[in-house]
Amino acid sequence: MSFSEDKENELQKKEEHLKHALDQFFHSSPFGELLNSFQHLVNSSLTEAQVTMNVREEHSGLFVDIDIPPSFKDGDILVEAKSRYLHITLRQNHQEASSATHASMTRTVLLPYEVQQELMNTSWNEQTMTLFFPKNKHE
């Protein structure tokens, strides 16, 4: 073995020891427990906050059906239409005796044509919010 190969092997071993030490620090310390708890909170929030959107075009205009998850109980729904983009944001606050959690999720869809937010109408049917954008008279 040459001198450079010895140095390379030595560096590889040091790198492996460092990786092992970092793994031990992040997974078996209180900091690791905090990271695992945070990851669990993010994963559970995202799986419960699935929002589906269905865009359908009819002769009178454009309809967007947004299925709001049943877990969304108390929060804000923000709708913003800019040009051909529709942005939907769900913000939810959950207060317990000693803690509070705040969750937010945003979805953006590209619409088939440009819409005007000021002409938008909304309606509710159980867990579905429907947005209606009338066709532009110039189309």
Report H helices in the chain.
3-28, 30-48
Find the mean pLDDT for residues 62-81. Answer: 84
* Every domain of the chain and the residues it spans: 3-45, 51-134
Q: Is 51-134 a CATH 3.40.50.261 domain? A: no
Mean pLDDT, rounded, of the chain: 78
Separation of first and last alpha carbons in the chain? 76
CA angle 110/130/89 to nearest 5° reads 60
- List % helix, strand, coil for the chain (3-state, nearest 5): 35, 40, 25
pLDDT digits (tens, 9 = 90+) for 1-52: 677 788 888 888 888 887 777 666 655 666 566 666 666 565 555 445 567 8
Query: What pLDDT shows up at residue 20?
Result: 74
pTM over 0.85: no
Tell which wins on pLDDT, 48 or 72.
72
Res. 89: pLDDT tops 60: yes
